[in-house]
Amino acid sequence: MKYAGNDNDLLPSWNDGPAKQAIVSFVARVTTPGGEDFVAEAERVAVFDNDGTLWPEQPLYVQYVFAFDRVAALLPEHPEWEEQEKFRAVLSKDLGRLATLTQRDILDVAAASHGGTTTEEFKQIVGDWLASARHPRFDRPYTECVYQPMLELLAYLRGRGFKTYIVSGGGIEFLRVWAEDIYGVPPEQVVGSSIVTAFEMREGEPLLLRRPEIDFVDDKAGKPVAINKFIGRRPIAAFGNSDGDLQMLQWVTAGEGARLGAIVRHTDGEREFAYDRASPVGRLDKALDEAEERGWTVVDMKRDWRRVFPFETE
Amino acid sequence: MKYAGNDNDLLPSWNDGPAKQAIVSFVARVTTPGGEDFVAEAERVAVFDNDGTLWPEQPLYVQYVFAFDRVAALLPEHPEWEEQEKFRAVLSKDLGRLATLTQRDILDVAAASHGGTTTEEFKQIVGDWLASARHPRFDRPYTECVYQPMLELLAYLRGRGFKTYIVSGGGIEFLRVWAEDIYGVPPEQVVGSSIVTAFEMREGEPLLLRRPEIDFVDDKAGKPVAINKFIGRRPIAAFGNSDGDLQMLQWVTAGEGARLGAIVRHTDGEREFAYDRASPVGRLDKALDEAEERGWTVVDMKRDWRRVFPFETE
């Protein structure tokens, strides 16, 4: 699918300004045959963080909400959870109490709530949950609460010969259920965190079982490691929004030739959320400092986005 | 790249017989629009083992030879290796002595010989080695000693809308150096074993460092697990040659709809090597029994391949 049109027309939800200009000019540089910065299609790899970059992560990561709902659903089979503060905090859905949990607690809850099924069953569970869950503020399914400008950007890059990948701290098998429908990113282009999965023959039928144990956390220094492992090429463009994307941005933009590093900055409390250095969810601090030093593009949501969500009317 | 020609013409190194017929008829079933077994292009995923399936694994896995050469090259920096039987056996290059090593010994040697560099340096080391190493029997670079019928099969499947993946017990970063040139399989379609890799900032430059520690062994039950993780789709066709491919074949062929499982059987001691149930390298025993039970295609090298290597003259 190649577009012949003017690049600016392909990003209608982006205001004219430095962010849009940086993106369009980068794409022109790497796609102009014979140009100094021309990059062959096979090497046009662009990676996107998901939470806070392609959809909101406030008031809580969407997958945390899924995990908490799973804990509630699984509670009858796990009465012992009622005795543990990490599960009690989760069941309370009290943000203040949740904020007291350690990273280890969160990983324990994630493992417990994401394991114990086959991979096929898990797909079904995620699909069913997405069909009924709604964003607490926008009161719509989460899959409708995605950033319209980023949908346009994904399609625009693919139209210019890029392969678009998601590289998320979220679960790889959680994302794959809906990333193709919503973002046009197929399963083999989704990289994420994982839990231990084991092959087992059960009555002659081969199954993949998800164990309640963390395998890999695709965040911070894990992101460039996972990109190298899954893709085997250094991308030429990376889009993130928090310090969890810092190492990915560093690694991608340190490669030779033209590179684009970009950070979505949450500056629009009216249409979305406004947060940065002090936020426990999606903290943007070091990466914002490095953006200036390293020449990364900062996408200021309030300034640069004409429209935030597909459901907004003009 | 789509072929319009007759399918039989696209596999000139295959003799007419049951194996070629099974492949061509499977491809016709899944690619005929409107047919009962039609499969959309996005789901046409075919996975190939490498050692013994795409190139020889006798008298020793090629990557073992690479590892052993690396041990010799690194010995001056590791005088302590001279005191350890596993390294001494490797340095002796005595097949009988190597056969006494345990799986753990081999993994230790693999980790020690594959770690300690950046990912970029490792690519260079593998490329340099391949440029000078030669197969002991065929006296040619290893990358010329690949199976011509399988090269044709890979290209034929891609021409019919398949995505071809390598799923190898070999090292993912070892394979990626040459798989695209030799097999037409790009880095992002290579799945393999890996060692622990870590991100590090060194004087402001982000690096990926290969640690001398095994991360994942992509063999036996590891293969379906890795396919699920890397590709996120169940392939519809799998090609292997040993018991290391058993679980991959089981999992792929147990899926719904038309499936193709195939085993390359090494029956040609004259042109290649003849071995199966008793071989320490590439043992084919259980998978051969299951081939009959589960209706997998057995490719008999002597019977089914007109030509084995590209360098053979007719």
Where residue A158 sits, what CATH number does that domain have? 3.40.50.1000
Q: Is B1 domain-assigned?
A: no
The answer to whether the bond into B310 is cis (omega within 30° of 0) is no
Check B229 against A205: CB less than 8 A apart. Answer: no
Whether residue B165 contacts residue B191, with contact meaning beta carbons closer than 8 Å, is answered with yes
What is the pairing mode between strands A190-202 and A205-216?
Answer: antiparallel
Q: Is B95 domain-assigned?
A: yes
One domain for residues A240 and A97: no
What sign does the CA torsion over A209, A215, A217, A222 have?
negative
End-to-end CA distance of chain A: 28
pTM for the model = 0.96
One domain for residues A122 and A30: no
Q: Is B269 domain-assigned?
A: yes
- What ipTM was estimated for this complex? 0.96
Contacts of A188 in chain B (CB under 8 A): 163, 188, 230-233
Measured at the CA of A71, the angle between CA A69 and CA A73, to 5 degrees, comes to 70
Whether residue A266 contacts residue A150, with contact meaning beta carbons closer than 8 Å, is answered with no
Q: Is A77 domain-assigned?
A: yes
Whether residue A225 contacts residue A217, with contact meaning beta carbons closer than 8 Å, is answered with no
Taking the CA atoms of residue B59, residue B62, residue B63 and residue B69 in that order, the dihedral angle to the nearest 10 degrees is 80
Q: Is B311 domain-assigned?
A: no
One domain for residues B92 and B203: no
CA distance A74 to A70: 6
Average pLDDT in chain B? 96
| Host H or E run for residue A263 | strand A260-265
Q: Quote the pLDDT of residue B4.
A: 54
pLDDT digits (tens, 9 = 90+) for A43-96: 999 999 999 999 999 999 999 999 999 999 999 999 999 999 999 999 998 888
Strands (E), B1-160: 45-48, 117-118
- Select from A173, A186, A199 the Cβ nearest to the Cβ of B247: A199
- Select from B119, B176, B232 the Cβ nearest to the Cβ of A176: B232
Radius of gyration of chain B (CA): 20
With a CB cutoff of 8 Å and minimum separation 6, the contacts of B105 are B86, B89
The answer to whether the bond into A56 is cis (omega within 30° of 0) is no
Q: Which of A132, A157, A175 is the last residue of a domain?
A: A132
Structure token pair of residue A154: 């994904």
One domain for residues A170 and A89: no
- Select from B190, B232, B251 the Cβ nearest to the Cβ of A232: B190
pLDDT digits (tens, 9 = 90+) for B150-199: 999 999 999 999 999 999 999 999 999 999 999 999 999 999 999 999 99
pLDDT of A142 above 50: yes
One domain for residues A111 and A221: no
Q: Where are the alpha helices (DSSP H) in A42-187?
A: 62-74, 85-92, 95-98, 103-114, 119-132, 148-159, 172-175, 179-183
pLDDT digits (tens, 9 = 90+) for B252-277: 999 999 999 999 999 999 999 999 99
Q: Where are the alpha helices (DSSP H) in A254-300?
A: 286-294
CB neighbours (10 Å) of residue A132?
8
Closest-CA residue to B308 (of B152, B195, B146): B146
One domain for residues B53 and B68: no
The interaxial angle of helices A62-74 and A103-114, nearest 10 deg, is: 60
pLDDT digits (tens, 9 = 90+) for B29-68: 999 999 999 999 999 999 999 999 999 999 999 999 999 9
What sign does the CA torsion over A206, A207, A208, A210 have?
negative
Q: Which of A77, A105, A132 is the last residue of a domain?
A: A132
Contacts of A208 in chain B (CB under 8 A): 224-225, 228, 251
CA distance A242 to A264: 8
Give the pLDDT band (50/70/90) at residue B1.
very low
Its domain, for residue A88, covers 62-132
Whether residue A97 contacts residue A86, with contact meaning beta carbons closer than 8 Å, is answered with no
pLDDT of B78 above 80: yes
Q: Is A90 domain-assigned?
A: yes
One domain for residues A277 and A234: yes
Whether residue B227 contacts residue B237, with contact meaning beta carbons closer than 8 Å, is answered with no
pLDDT digits (tens, 9 = 90+) for A150-177: 999 999 999 999 999 999 999 999 999 9
Check B230 against A233: CB less than 8 A apart. Answer: no
pLDDT digits (tens, 9 = 90+) for A240-249: 999 999 999 9
Count of structural domains, chain B: 2
Q: Quote the pLDDT of residue B273.
A: 98
One domain for residues A29 and A169: yes
CA distance A151 to A310: 9
What sign does the CA torsion over B224, B228, B230, B233 have?
positive
A positions 120-179 inside 8 Å of B (CB): 163, 172-173, 176
One domain for residues B127 and B226: no
pLDDT digits (tens, 9 = 90+) for A257-313: 999 999 999 999 999 999 999 998 999 999 999 999 999 999 999 999 999 999 997
Q: Quote the pLDDT of residue A1.
A: 46
One domain for residues A113 and A252: no
Q: Is A2 domain-assigned?
A: no
Q: Is A81 domain-assigned?
A: yes
One domain for residues A124 and A166: no
